[in-house]
């Protein structure tokens, strides 16, 4: 079949390789579309960039969810179930493909493509990478070019037919989900279910970080989201303290304080982590900073200082006994 211009959309040509079945599906907003795809360059060798069948699992997108590569929604909504089609897409539609491809490859390698949202607070991550970590994608990023997508449409499900995960929610739903996840995390924390609580906080952080990527860094809305993120990260750190993961607490709190040095709770939480790993001077310095910034916390600071001194005295006594036993 000759390639034909698809739905009068500029810069796209479609060739049906295998006809689908039934009528055109109902691609309503929120529908989940499952498909296999192969991405190729338009060179003589038709060099394969990505192939979902080689990875071993199909791709899903949610209609109307501002997916990173918007052209795929245009392509998929022209197809019937079981149809296989080849699409030639001009550069105007493929510029962000390298970023999408990076996420897909990280998932295929068992990595979380949003892991930096959860496990690091460094704001440098909010800005463009110098490299995507893959030479062929770096080349595509520097010199965008037309691409060929071969797509096999497997399934179209209405919103009521599947369980939506947090990352599938639209922007408004994500914003609505955050206080619910936050509250659920707090409830689980009070019940002593720290692992479950930390998962809720992490999920809320991912929602907010995703929303932040749509805002200009350091402007009002971005900073509002950043403040919410920092609150959740510190709650997450409280879980880590309970799980005795002190060095991860030090990493998260130090990242926050590098960029937001006025957050009292970050100093307080970091002081507790320092105390647990016998960093006496650092713990005392952080508690002094808490008092400087928030004098009303004097009682809490004095309590932490007493606990620290008691633990240090116990440690010194253990060392004295150990020395006596060695000499004995």
Q: Which residue has the tokens 């307080």?
A: 268
Rounded Cα–Cα distance for residues 13 and 10 (Å) = 9
Beta bridge partners of 129: none
The reported pLDDT for the residue numbered 177 is 81
Q: What are the residues facing 14 on neighbouring strands? A: 4, 87
The neighbouring-strand residues paired with 38 are: 51, 150
Q: Among all chains, which residue has been given the structure tokens 């002094």?
A: 288
Q: Looking at residue 174, what is its pLDDT?
A: 82
Cα–Cα separations (whole angstroms), residue 52 to 242, 254, 294: 41, 39, 54
| pLDDT tens digit sequence for 77-127 | 999 999 999 999 999 888 888 878 887 887 777 664 443 333 333 333 333
- Residue 6 has φ and ψ, to the nearest 5°, of -85, 120
pLDDT over 80 at 219, yes or no: yes
CA distances from 206 to 108, 203, 209, 260, 305 (A): 19, 5, 5, 20, 35
168 compared with 283, residue with greater pLDDT:
283
Report the C-alpha gap between 24 and 143 in whole angstroms: 36
Q: What is the pLDDT of residue 117?
A: 35
pLDDT at 324: 80
Give the integer Cα–Cα distance in Å for 149 and 245. Answer: 45
- pLDDT at 225 (0 to 100): 94
Q: What mean pLDDT is predicted for residues 14-22? A: 93
DSSP 296: G
Q: Which domains does the chain have, with CATH numbers?
A: 12-157 (3.10.50.40), 171-309 (1.25.40.10)
Residue 157 has pLDDT above 60, yes or no: yes
- Higher pLDDT: 323 or 237? It is 237
**Average pLDDT, integer, range 201-207:** 90
Q: State residue 112's pLDDT score.
A: 45
Gap between the Cα atoms of 94 and 126, Å rounded: 22
pLDDT confidence of residue 42 = 95
pLDDT score of 118: 32
3-class DSSP state for residue 118?
Answer: helix
Q: How high is the pLDDT of residue 120? A: 33
- Flag the least confident range among 13-22, 167-176, 280-289: 167-176
Task: Give 124's DSSP letter.
Answer: G
Q: Which two tokens stand for residue 82?
A: 């079981």
Residue 319 pLDDT level (bands cut at 50, 70, 90): confident
Residue 151 pairs with which residues in a beta bridge?
Answer: 37, 85
DSSP assignments along 170-218, one per residue: -HHHHHHHHHHHHHHHHHHHHTT-HHHHHHHHHHHHHHHHHHHTTS-TT
Average pLDDT, the chain: 85
Long-range contacts of 65-69 (CB under 8 A, 24+ apart): 65/30, 65/168, 65/169, 65/170, 66/170, 66/171, 68/96, 68/99, 68/100, 68/103, 69/93, 69/94, 69/96, 69/97, 69/100
More confident residue, 183 or 252: 252
pLDDT (average), residues 269-273 = 96
Q: Span 248-263, mean pLDDT?
A: 94
Residue 168 confidence (pLDDT): 64
Query: What's the token pair of residue 218?
Result: 């350091």
Query: Residue 66 has what pLDDT?
Result: 53
Report pLDDT for 125: 36
Q: 318: pLDDT confidence band, cut at 50, 70 and 90?
A: confident
């Amino acid at each position: 079949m000759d390639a034909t211009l698809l739905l009068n959309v500029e810069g796209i040509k479609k060739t049906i390789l295998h006809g689908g079945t039934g009528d055109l599906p109902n691609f309503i907003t929120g529908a989940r579309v499952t498909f296999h795809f192969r991405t190729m360059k338009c060179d003589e060798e038709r060099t394969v960039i990505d192939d979902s069948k080689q990875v071993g699992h199909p791709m899903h997108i949610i209609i109307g969810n501002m997916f990173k590569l918007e052209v795929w929604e245009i392509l998929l909504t022209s197809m019937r179930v079981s149809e296989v089609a080849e699409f030639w897409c001009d550069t105007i539609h493929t510029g962000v493909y390298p970023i999408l491809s990076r996420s897909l490859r990280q998932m295929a390698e068992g990595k979380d493509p949003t892991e930096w949202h959860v496990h690091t607070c460094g704001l440098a991550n909010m800005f463009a990478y110098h490299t995507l970590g893959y030479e062929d994608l770096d080349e595509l990023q520097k010199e965008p070019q037309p691409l060929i997508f071969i797509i096999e449409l497997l399934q179209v499900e209405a919103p009521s037919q599947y369980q939506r995960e947090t990352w599938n929610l639209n922007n408004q739903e994500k914003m609505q989900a955050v206080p619910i996840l936050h509250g659920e995390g707090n409830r689980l924390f009070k019940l002593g279910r720290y692992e479950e609580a930390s998962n809720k906080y992490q999920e809320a952080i991912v929602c907010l970080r995703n929303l932040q990527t749509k805002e200009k860094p350091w402007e009002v809305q971005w900073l509002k989201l950043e403040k919410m993120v920092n609150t959740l990260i510190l709650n997450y750190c409280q879980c880590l303290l309970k799980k005795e993961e002190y060095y991860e607490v030090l990493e998260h709190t130090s990242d926050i304080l590098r960029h937001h040095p006025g957050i009292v709770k970050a100093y307080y939480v970091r002081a507790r982590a320092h105390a647990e790993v016998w960093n006496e001077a650092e713990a005392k310095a952080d508690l002094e900073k808490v008092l400087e910034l928030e004098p009303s916390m004097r009682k809490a600071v004095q309590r932490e200082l007493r606990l620290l001194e008691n633990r240090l005295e116990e440690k010194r006594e253990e060392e004295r006994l150990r020395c006596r036993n060695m000499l004995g």
